[in-house]
Amino acid sequence: MRILVTGSSGTIGTRLCEALLAKGYDVIGVDWVPNKWQPAVQKITTILDLRDRDALLAQSEKLKADAIIHLGANARVYELVEDPPRALDNFITLFNTLELARKNGTKKFFFAGSREGYGNIQVDHLTEDLVRIENCESPYTASKVGGEALVHAYTRCYGINHVIIRFSNVYGAYDDSVRVVPLFIRQARKNETLKIFGKAKCLDFTYIDDAADGVIKALEKFDAVKNDTYNLAFGEGNTILKLAEMIIELTGSQSKIELGESRTGEVIRYVADISKAKKAFGYDPKVPFAEGVQKSVEWYKTHT
């Protein structure tokens, strides 16, 4: 089976391509920047801006695949609050990738949704049926919820079967961004202050290996699980304050913690119900929070 992964130079994309290649899949990637982490993934990545539909469709023969896993997106929630046109980019790149699937006759399509779609509803262990458009907290959230609607439309109109995966705070290797885990590790290693936006902020962190494994399990059972939506998380909430304290301890840092107000557009509490993915395709996250944070700190010590 030939798999096209968009966003193949990103955090999830790199690990997923790596895992798919290890399992013997024929993998090709697309990203607008080179992959700086894994030469094997860079080798199969085409550098292309998915916002440019003409350029993308001009490469349609080269990018023919049995399945597309669309991960490419601008994924920094608060940055998109400050610069909302970047949320529109998310919708445009999805539309263009669906058009690629339509042109090439690709009938298996994965879309990376987000736990942000649930908004700030005070429910523990959120199930997949609880997303509502009125709970969109940010332009990023709207791009993901609207994206899910577009995916459903292409299933109805063009027979492109889909699986929507709602990821939740994926962390681990291959990330030197301003996401909270790599950011806090960098700051702690420099003894800089770790600032938390919202004292009670509590999220469901998913280790990168578990996220990639979940996608592959869904891919391998695609016909049985298609045209549905699944949470991929660990199923446990941990506060950002706890994360900061763990990283300071693991790095031997002298950093202080500063507590600030929650930022506009950000969800302050999310814990996923992952029972649907467990039942449907055997999703079974292995790496608990404490172990995953320790693994992350060790990885960043040797790679950044």
pLDDT for 235-261, tens place per residue?
A: 999 999 999 999 999 999 999 999 998
- Closest Cα to residue 244, out of 282, 177, 293? 293
pLDDT reported for residue 78 = 84
> Once rounded to an integer, what is the mean pLDDT over residues 128-143?
94
pLDDT at residue 266 above 90?
no
Q: Please check whether residue 7 is in contact with residue 211, taking contact to mean a CB–CB distance below 8 angstroms.
A: no
pLDDT reported for residue 164 = 99
Q: Please check whether residue 72 is in contact with residue 48, taking contact to mean a CB–CB distance below 8 angstroms.
A: no
Q: Which CATH fold topology does 2-172+206-234+272-285 show?
A: Rossmann fold (3.40.50)
- Closest Cα to residue 3, out of 41, 52, 47? 41
In the three-class reduction of DSSP (H, G, I as helix; E, B as strand; rest coil), residue 46 is classed as strand
214: pLDDT confidence band, cut at 50, 70 and 90?
Answer: very high
Phi, psi (rounded to 5 degrees) for 16: -65, -45
Please state, for a pLDDT cut of 70, what percent of the chain lies above it: 100
pLDDT tens-place string over residues 165-177: 999 999 999 988 7
Token reading at 11: 């955090």
Q: Please check whether residue 102 is in contact with residue 36, taking contact to mean a CB–CB distance below 8 angstroms.
A: no
* Number of neighbouring beta carbons within 10 Å of residue 238: 20
pLDDT reported for residue 121 = 86
* Alpha helical stretches, state H, the chain: 11-22, 39-43, 53-58, 77-82, 85-104, 139-158, 180-189, 208-220, 222-225, 240-251, 275-281, 289-303
Token reading at 209: 């290996």
Q: What is the mean pLDDT of the chain?
A: 96
> Once rounded to an integer, what is the mean pLDDT over residues 48-56?
97
pLDDT at residue 178 above 90?
no
